[in-house]
Amino acid sequence: MLRRPIESAQYTAIRYAERLDQIGAARSVGSKGDSFDNAAAESLNSLYKKELIDFHSGWENVMDVTIATMEWVTWYNSERIHSYCGNIPPREYEESFHRSRGTATRAGQEPTI
């Protein structure tokens, strides 16, 4: 009997799991039917609305919102202080993480976001 070739999504999931194991990261996947998978996304969307959309009034057009969103995402992912990483910016946390392991974030380069 012939076996079906491995699906690319399965291969990606396997490689992802291997990489998490290599760096000692815990896998965080909710079970079917619970709300844990969506909780992080809902929290992020709530912060986005509170910190950007509701805070600013008088958007001129969609392009203004788009540009402001890109700037907010960059700031959120690199400079905003997060409690999950010891109340320091993610960039600082990532740099410290890789220094402690003697690794770099991208192809042998210093971490950049």
pLDDT in tens, 29-56: 666 655 556 777 788 889 999 999 888 8
Residue 5 lies in a domain: no
Paired strand residues for 88 = 82
Higher-confidence position of 61 and 16:
61
Would you say 100 and 89 are in contact if contact means Cβ atoms under 8 Å apart? no
In the prediction, which pLDDT does 74 show? Answer: 92
Domain-embedded: residue 27: no
Q: For residue 66, is it within any domain?
A: yes
Which one, of 40, 68, 36, lies nearest residue 54 by Cα? 68
pLDDT band at 9 (very low <50, low <70, confident <90, very high): low
Number of domains composing the chain: 1
More confident residue, 58 or 30: 58
Q: Is 9 contained in some domain? A: no
Residue 82: which domain range? 58-113
pLDDT for position 73: 92
Cα 37-38-41 angle, rounded to 5 deg: 115
Tell whether 109 is covered by a domain: yes
pLDDT tens-digit series, residues 59-107: 899 999 999 999 999 998 888 888 888 899 988 988 888 889 887 665 4
Q: What is the pLDDT of residue 29?
A: 63
The CA-atom distances, in angstroms, between 43 and each of 25, 39, 46 are 22, 6, 5
Q: 73, 51 in Cβ contact below 8 A?
A: no
Residue 26 counted as domain residue = no
C-alpha to C-alpha distance for 12 and 108, rounded to whole angstroms: 22
In a domain, 112, yes or no: yes
More confident position, 109 or 66? 66
Q: Say if 107 falls within a structural domain.
A: yes
